[in-house]
Amino acid sequence: MKELFFSNVPASIAVIGLVGYFFGMAIVFIISPVKNAESFSVKPVDNAGKTEIRVYYGGISFALGAFLLYLTLALGTPYHSMVGGMIFATTVFTTRTIFLFVDKGWKCPYTKLAIPAEGLFVIALWTCFFISKHLYG
């Protein structure tokens, strides 16, 4: 495991951050779906909606984290997992930014947290990507 981490340190750091983020999101939404979804301005209309929050915010977050971890272990390098996570995070951030203006959601409390947090996360991932390319070619 130590060799895997040191095979590409920037990519390893990115993957640890991505997997931690996705597993954390999974736990939070599976354990307390309504409370956490409401902080994202999402509210279920019935119990099936509560299940959907668990499935899509919790289950898919867990699956994505597990896939990135699997990919790292199966390929013996964190590089491809970092790139996949970077593409995912960049797409989410870009889509959120575009529709923030379309839907006029810039005054919502969640948006005021999400934009800077996701922006910094995307910058950190791209930084890891460029450092990785420079140091490990």
Q: How confident is the model at residue 106 (pLDDT cuts 50, 70, 90)?
A: confident
Rounded CA separation 7/76 (Å): 9
- Residue 14: both structure tokens together: 């990115």
40: pLDDT strictly greater than 90 = no
Write out the residue range of the structural domain in which residue 63 sits.
2-136
Residue 71 — very low, low, confident or very high, per pLDDT cuts 50/70/90? very high
Q: What is the mean pLDDT of residues 74-81?
A: 97
The percentage of residues in the chain with a pLDDT greater than 70, rounded to a whole number, is 100
Structurally, the chain folds into a number of domains equal to 1
The answer to whether 102 and 86 have CB atoms below 8 angstroms apart is no
Give the C-alpha separation, 36 to 87, whole Å.
25
Q: What is the mean pLDDT of residues 72-79?
A: 97
Q: How far, CA to CA in Å, does 101 sit from each of 51, 86, 93, 107?
A: 30, 23, 13, 10
Assign 1 a pLDDT band (cuts: 50, 70, 90).
confident
- 109 pLDDT tier (thresholds 50, 70, 90): confident
